[in-house]
Amino acid sequence: MPVPRRFDRQPPERDTTRVNERIRVPEVRLIDDTGQQVGIMRTNEALRMAQEKDLDLVEVAAEAKPPVVRILDYSKYKYEQAQKAKSARKHQQTINVREIKFRPKIAQHDYDTKKGHVERFLKARDKVKVTIMFRGREMAHPERGEMILNRLAEDLNELAIVEQRPQQDGRNMTMMLGPVKTTTDGKSD
């Protein structure tokens, strides 16, 4: 029996940059291949100049009046734009919030194991939401959960800062930890 195809993928992004004959305005402001501004001229004349130099006429500022076009190698321009976008994505910081759940009656070894997970998340520069889950009559002693959260914050004080103090939220008590901001990033005074 054939498996039905899924059409949940996005179609590839179309390139909207107008190049050569796709530029359909009567006049353009031309910048030549050396970066010098030539001035305002007819589009077909600018296109002829680009073809004489065996390069492309690329619209770089469509909103301007008249639109700004440049004589350059389009494939090289497209590659450089992709590299700039890739570099911008690389330098963009994403903050993940990881969650670790504890119980008020946690054994020492279990506590140490979960503390190790929290350390690993903080070293990976992620924020950590620590949750104590209460059940039944454990709700009568919220101070036990607060003691565990305070002990964890104290154990991790060189790796983490407490961004949100322990607070009760229904049956859960939560605390938010963030990684310590490193001030010695290549600066030696």
| Domains of the chain by residue range | 20-77, 97-179
Verify cis geometry, omega within 30 degrees of 0, for the bond prior to 66: yes
Fold of 20-77: Ubiquitin-like (UB roll) (3.10.20)
Contacts of range 75-78, beta carbons closer than 8 Å, 24 or more positions apart? 78/15, 78/17
The CA–CA distances, whole Å, from 1 to 4, 5, 139 equal 9, 13, 55
pLDDT in tens, 72-117: 999 998 999 899 988 888 887 778 899 999 999 999 999 999 999 9
- Domain 97-179 matching CATH 3.30.110.10: the answer reads yes
Give the chain's mean pLDDT: 88
pLDDT in tens, 53-80: 999 999 988 888 899 999 999 999 899 9
Which of 104, 101, 132 shows the shortest CA–CA distance to 114? 101
What pLDDT does 1 receive? 65
